[in-house]
Amino acid sequence: MKSFQQARWEEPLLWELSLEGRSGCLPPVDERVIREVGSVEELVPDKIRRKSSLDLPELTENMVVRHFVRLSQMTFCVDTGMYPLGSCTMKYTPKAAEAAAALPGFRDIHPLQHEDTVQGALRLMYELQQILAGIAGLPGVSLQPPAGAAGEFAGCLIIRKYFEERGEVDRRTEMLIPDSAHGTNPASAAMAGFEVVVIPSGSDGLIDLEALKATVSERTAGIMLTNPNTLGLFEKNILDITRIVHEVGGLVYYDGANLNAIMGWARPGDMGVDIMHFNLHKTFGAPHGGGGPGSGPIAVSKELEEYLPVPVVAYDEERDRYYLDYNRPKSIGKVHGFFGNFPVLVKAYVYIRLMGRGGLKRAAAHAVLASNYLARRTEVLRGLKLSHAPHLLRKHEFVLTATELKAQRGVTAGDIAKRILDFGLHAPTMYFPLIVKEALMVEPTETEPLETLDSYAEVLSQIVNEAWSSPEQVKRAPYATTVRRVDEVRAARPKTRALTWRDLKRLKEKEGSI
Amino acid sequence: MLRFLGLEKLDDLFEDIPEEVRQRCCLDQVPEAVPEVVLWRYLNKLAAQNRAEPYRRFVGGGLYAHYVPAAVDFIAARTEFVTSYTPYQAEVSQGLLQALFEYQSLIAELFDMEVVNASLYDGATAVGEAIRMALRVSKRKKVIVPKLMPPHRRRVLQAYTTALDCKIVEIGYDNRGLLDLAELEQEVDDATAAVYVENPTCLGAFEEQIFEISDIAHKKDALLIAYVDPISLAIVEPPGAYDADIAVGEGQPLGLHLGFGGALLGIFACKRKYLMKMPGRLIGATVDVEGRRAFCMTLQTREQHIRRERATSNICTNESLSAITAAAYLALLGPQGLRRVCEAVLANTAYLARRLNTLPGVTAPAFEGVCYFREIPARFDGWLAREIREMCIKRGIDPGLDLGTWFEGFERILLACTTEVHQKEDLDRLVSVLAELVR
């Protein structure tokens, strides 16, 4: 096994590097203009002029660049190594997409500049709307939601609007959500005013049809489901599920976080889904930006199209001109100040065009293949097992449970995750979904070659062996990372909490160094 | 791998999907693959159809074309920041966490506020979240906002409050385009959760009555929510100085490209006493088991992945990369550089106003605000702003926004915008094109 040591710079905070009088960038002020209009003191009334000092750090360009380069070196990323964070689809992202988004013609245009001067950007958006509609099997698309959760919120508002139009909004108060769902689902439903009703999973990890039948009623606004679900299992009864919900007049929302598993093989629209969101930063090869920007476009059925957020990009065939269509009186309004995260749209567009329809389908198949391969290689490790219906085929991800290791050796899923970091690999998502104890949720993605999957399995095997023979070795991990295990309790405790440099300075004065 | 799994072909991996669903799957709307070299040519063609250079464009409206120093682009393109995700594993993500902690700290200084989250999507959704939070903490139901609020922001606020039992009351403006204080005083009462105010206003003038507005709100124990411009805070009073309870803003001017309005930065700050009620991620400083300084995500019990339907917000993916970019920008400019940007902007704005005002039939500023920052409303007696803009576009210049598309009765007002990227000659060119038109 290769040894690994992450960079450890002990890099000070910006203020600790600062020296008065420095600046990395001093833009010029045109003296000719100042002579005509007067100085800041003359232009800004005293009453509103800033009185307090502005304690920003003072550094040279070289110092700033070096600081952030060092910080970057202490950050694990997809371009460093395998990052199988379940439900996050950390696949390799093509560099052509980055280059395209950085073209000045895309990067430096203003959303409110005249439509005639942004025809290329609008065309790209229009084409992407068409493509996503095709992948969803649903005709109406809005690219506006800036993240998956924003797509969910927009979708829930559309469901709300749909019932408002039908005069049923006061009655349709319940949103059904399986207990395996992502946390954003119940949070988004609640933000849109729905009461969350949890649907339990059966022992096979799938939605319990009997429980669903017993729960739906005339109060049901809809169901939000992820398929494949967060256990990596495809809801094979999907047609029954959508029928049951439709029969009581509810709508079906599909969380596209796991679309990478079925893209090109099945379309949500063909399963009876009424509305869905995509995560372009997961499925369509746009990078995750350390937590964002993402992009969460939504697709809806014909019946719901008129409720989409404004504007939608439209094409006037007669004049061969793309335009922003605001004339949609039944729209839910806006969920983002402008048109969403356009640079992410560019990246997803590039990814899709490079892959083509055949490539997308192959990508999904290889994601599922990699997941099943790694699942079979790791479920046999002593003390780990595949959660829920181990005989079933997984889709793009699988969930291991470490309950036995915890019971026998006191080694938790979190300990295993930390130990993985010592091998230059990222940990799986841990402690999720909530219905699995000691969960490790693994999503290898299609872009990891077989050799990498094998070495991940070997690393897990070694860690499991350690857990049995010398559990302390695992419980004290990691060792090779920038810092050792981080004290999260201290960070949260009111007395030691520091959320800014100001807080930290105050703490330092009180109790010495940190 | 297939052999290892005892399967024959890739199709076998999808047998759990109902056959009729698989058969219906048609991908005709997705084009066939294109080689990179061919696609690149097409992308360049599309990009070339957009007018990107800022020198002949005077459009603001909430996003602004400031100069982005090359060093900022360089830092923002570091692949470690670009291709990582939410730092769930703190030990391998110290750099990202420290950068976000520095972002929180820099904004806290600039805004003079106690706590700042690690970003929301954009300024507009930050307003939505701020008002939701004010309703939550005050348990009251009325929110006061200015009538003069850009519709793109107002509509987001509307969507964010659709499902809440609350009333949004709009307050008019005085002859300076500032909030009508008499009307405000009348409207703020014991049921008021928050007074939301924008500074500068969407017409570009600083809200000179901000201290009075704060007093009016606080007298009735309503929260003050201020939407501010981060760049301007190098010269004007920050929200902390007028005791704002929540301060929000659009962070795009801090070193982010316009990106056709995407990948923005929602700044969200508040008083410490509201910490547990605030939306979004927070990064805290701590130590590792060996006592080394370290950073991690903290107070996650507010968030959706733990609290689910009772979370303070549904936000998960945010705008981390934008936050790091803003941190790099602020670190690079420092207090002096930022002040210089402000000086240049103030001077250009004042100069543009003066020159526009010399044109026959043009009043600039169209309102009597005292100090304008970046944006200047100009009234054209003989023309609609829409006509002016169309004529300018034909001459290769985008003179600003037609405020008739924002507010009724503003059809003759053009909102022109300038930053430090414009030189005197650029402003003179705009004025001379307009002079020809209104002659």
Maximum alpha-carbon separation in chain B: 83
Bridge partner list, B169: B144
Q: Return the number of other C-beta atoms located less than 10 Å from residue B178's C-beta.
A: 26
How does pLDDT run across B49-104, given as a tens digit for each residue?
999 999 999 999 999 999 999 999 999 999 999 999 999 999 999 999 999 999 99
Distance from CA of A314 to the nearest CA of B (A): 16
User: Which of A336, A332, A341, A321 lies closest to A114, judged by CA?
Assistant: A321
CB A287 within 8 A of CB B82: yes
Tell if the CB–CB gap between A11 and B98 is shorter than 8 Å: yes
Whether A457 contacts A397, CB under 8 Å: no
Q: Is B346 within 8 Å of A317 (Cβ atoms)?
A: no
For residue B311, the chain A residues in CB contact (below 8 A) are 183, 187, 190
Structural domain span for residue A384? 358-475
How does pLDDT run across B323-351, given as a tens digit for each residue? 999 999 999 999 999 999 999 999 999 99
**Do B251 and B230 meet the contact criterion of CB atoms below 8 Å apart?**
yes
> Is 0.95 surpassed by the pTM of this model?
yes
Q: Which of A49, A90, A118 minimises the CB distance to B85?
A: A90
How far apart (Å, rounded) are the C-alpha atoms in residues B76 and B70?
10
Domain assignment present for A442: yes
Q: Does residue A178 lie in a domain region? A: no
pLDDT at A2: 80
Report chain A residues whose CB lies below 8 A from the CB of B57: 110, 113
Q: What is the mean pLDDT of chain B?
A: 97
Which DSSP string do the residues of B66-85 spell out, in sequence order? ----HHHHHHHT-HHHHS--
Q: Which residues in chain A have Cβ-Cβ distances shorter than 8 Å to B37?
A: none
A126-153: average pLDDT = 98
State which residue of chain B sits closest to A289, comparing Cα positions.
B82
pLDDT tens-place string over residues A454-504? 999 999 999 999 999 999 999 999 999 999 999 999 999 999 999 999 999
What is the distance between the alpha carbons of residues B133 and A172, in angstroms, rounded to a whole number?
A: 25
- Nearest CA-CA distance, residue B221 and chain A, Å: 24
Residue B290 C-alpha, separation from nearest chain A C-alpha, in angstroms: 7
Per-residue pLDDT reduced to its tens digit, A297-330: 999 999 999 999 999 999 999 999 999 999 999 9
Please state the ipTM of this predicted complex: 0.98
Whether B7 shows a pLDDT value over 60: the answer reads: yes
Does A380 share its domain with A469? yes
* Sequence spans of domains, chain B: 55-67+334-438, 70-329
Q: Find, in chain A, the residue whose alpha carbon is nearest to that of B88.
A: A429
Which residue of A30, A197, A416 to mutate against B (max B Cβ within 10 Å)? A30
Give yes or no: residues A452 and A369 share one domain.
Answer: yes
**Amino acid A177: pLDDT:** 97
| String of DSSP letters for A40-82 | HHHHS-GGGB--S--------HHHHHHHHHHHHHT---TTTS-
Q: Classify the C-alpha dihedral A148-A149-A150-A151 as positive or negative.
A: positive
pLDDT for residue A379: 97
Phi, psi values for residue B286, rounded to 5° = -155, -155
Boundary-marking domain end, from A49, A73, A97: A73
Tokens 């950050």 found at? A75
pLDDT computed for residue B304 by the predictor:
87
Rounded distance, CA B357 to CA B379, Å? 9
- E strand or H helix at A211, and its extent? helix A209-215
The pLDDT of residue A514 is above 60: no
Strands B167-171 and B142-146: parallel
What kind of fold does domain B70-329 have according to CATH?
A: Aspartate Aminotransferase; domain 2 (3.40.640)
pLDDT higher than 90, residue A510: no
CATH number at residue A427: 3.90.1150.10
Which tokens in the block code for residue B176? Answer: 């300076």
Chain A residues closer than 8 Å to B18 by CB = 236, 238-239, 271
Average of per-residue pLDDT across B178-185: 98
Reduced to 3 states (helix: H, G, I; strand: E, B; else coil), residue B393 is helix
Name residues whose C-beta falls within 8 Å of residue B325's C-beta, 6 or more positions apart in sequence.
B72, B75, B76, B254, B255, B256, B265
Out of A13, A75, A429, the one facing B81 most closely (by C-beta) is: A75
Do residues B236 and A49 touch, judged by C-beta distance below 8 A? yes
Q: How confident is the model at residue B6 (pLDDT cuts 50, 70, 90)?
A: very high
pLDDT in tens, B189-247: 999 999 999 999 999 999 999 999 999 999 999 999 999 999 999 999 999 999 999 99
- Looking at residue B439, its pLDDT comes to 84
- For residue A220, list its beta bridge partners: A174
What are the C-alpha distances in Å from B23 to residues A270, B12, B19? 9, 14, 6
C-beta atoms of B262 and A339 within 8 A? yes
Interface contact B370-A45, CB threshold 8 A = yes
Distance (Å, whole) CA A368 – CA B109: 48
Distance from CA of B224 to the nearest CA of A (A): 17
Of A121, A345, A417, the CB nearest to B50: A121
Q: Assess if residue A33 is contained within a domain.
A: yes
Under 8 Å between Cβ of B62 and B153: yes
| pLDDT value for A5 | 97
Residues A370 and A425 in one domain: yes
Output A207-210 pairs: Cβ under 8 A, ≥24 positions apart.
A207/A178, A207/A235, A207/A237, A207/A241, A209/A237, A209/A240, A209/A241, A209/A244
Rounded Cα gap, residues B333 and B231, in angstroms: 11
What size, in residues, is chain A?
514
Q: A192 to chain B: which residues are within 8 Å by CB?
A: 162-163
| Contact between residue A111 and residue B260 where contact means Cβ atoms under 8 Å apart | yes
For residue B47, give the nearest of A106, A476, A483 by CB distance.
A106
Main-chain phi, psi angles of A313, to 5 degrees? -80, 125
Structure tokens at A11: 């890099």
Give B260-318 pLDDT, tens digit per residue: 999 999 999 999 999 999 999 999 999 999 999 999 999 998 888 888 888 999 999 99
Contact A37, B347 (CB under 8 A): yes
Q: Is B310 on the interface with A (CB under 8 A)?
A: yes
Task: Report pLDDT for A40.
Answer: 86
| Chain A residues with beta carbon closer than 8 angstroms to that of B111 | none
Average pLDDT estimate for B150-163? 97
Q: Which residues of B touch A271 (CB under 8 A)?
A: 18, 21
- d(CA A480, CA A179) in angstroms, rounded, equals 36
Q: Is the CB of residue B309 less than 8 Å away from at least one CB of chain A?
A: yes
CB contact under 8 A, A75 and B47: no
How is domain B55-67+334-438 classified at the architecture level of CATH? Answer: Alpha-Beta Complex (3.90)
Q: In angstroms, how far is the first alpha carbon of chain A from the final one?
A: 35
The edge-to-edge listing of strands for the beta sheet with A174-178 is A140-142, A298-300, A275-278, A251-256, A220-226, A174-178, A195-199
Q: What DSSP string runs through A241-272?
A: HHHHHHHTT-EEEEEETTGGGTTTT--GGGGT
Segment A83-93 shows an average pLDDT of: 97
* Cis bond upstream, residue A433 (ω within 30): yes
Residues A425 and A495 in one domain: no
- Range name among A70-79, B202-211, B309-318, B420-429 with the lowest pLDDT average: B309-318
A76: chain B residues, CB-CB within 8 Å: 80, 84, 89, 92-93
Judged by a CB distance cut-off of 8 A, whether residue B1 touches chain A is yes
Interface mutation vs chain A, best among B105, B127, B401, B417, most A CBs within 10 Å: B105
Contact A57 B334 (CB under 8 A): yes
Residues A439 and A509 in one domain: no
Q: Are residues A364 and A425 in the same domain?
A: yes
Domain count, chain A: 3
**Residue of A26, A334, A432 to mutate, interface with B, max B Cβ within 10 Å:** A334
User: Per-residue pLDDT for A513 more than 60?
Assistant: no
Is residue A372, in this structure, part of any structural domain at all?
A: yes
Are residues A407 and A509 located together in one domain of the fold?
no
Chain A residues within 8 A of B375 when measuring between CB atoms: none
- Judge whether A3 lies within some domain: no
Contact: B34, A353; criterion CB under 8 Å: yes
Helix (H, G, I), strand (E, B) or coil at B58: coil
A124: which chain B residues are within 8 Å (Cβ-Cβ)? 46
What's the rounded mean pLDDT across residues A46-59?
95
Instruction: Say which of A150, A357, A376 has its CB closest to residue B32.
Output: A357
Q: Which residues pair with A174 in a beta bridge?
A: A195, A220
Alpha carbons B159 and B162: distance in angstroms, whole number: 5
Task: Report whether pLDDT(A209) > 70.
Answer: yes
Tally A–B CB contacts below 8 A.
696
Phi, psi of A454 (to 5 degrees): -60, -45
The two tokens of residue A145 are 């939601």
Whether residues A375 and A471 fall in one domain: yes
Percent residues over pLDDT 70 in chain A: 99
Of A73, A90, A124, the last residue of a domain is A73
* Chain B residues 29-88 within an 8 A CB cutoff of chain A: 29-34, 36, 39-40, 43-54, 57, 59-63, 65, 67, 69, 71, 74-75, 77-88
Q: One fold for both B55-67+334-438 and B70-329?
A: no
- Reduced to 3 states (helix: H, G, I; strand: E, B; else coil), residue B222 is coil
Nearest Cα to Cα of residue A258 among A243, A239, A238: A238
Give me the residue from A183, A296, A481 closest to B92, CB to CB.
Answer: A481
pLDDT at A200 > cutoff 80: yes
Which segments of B188-319 does DSSP mark as H helices, in order?
A: 210-219, 304-307
| Contact predicate A251/A222, CB 8 Å | yes
Chain A residue numbers with beta carbons less than 8 Å from the beta carbon of B63 are 110-112, 338
A32: chain B residues, CB-CB within 8 Å: 424
**B126 in Cβ contact with B268 (< 8 Å):** yes
Q: Of the candidates A50, A73, A96, which is a domain's last residue? A: A73
| Cα–Cα dist B218/B221, whole Å | 5
For residues B2 and A369, the answer to whether their CB atoms sit within 8 Å is: yes
pLDDT band (50, 70, 90) for residue B40:
very high
Rounded distance, CA A468 to CA A225, Å?
38
Looking at residue A398, its amino acid is F
Q: Within the 121-160 window of chain B, which residues sit less than 8 Å (CB to CB) from chain A?
A: 121-125, 132, 152-153, 155-156, 158-160
Are A456 and A504 in a shared domain? Answer: no
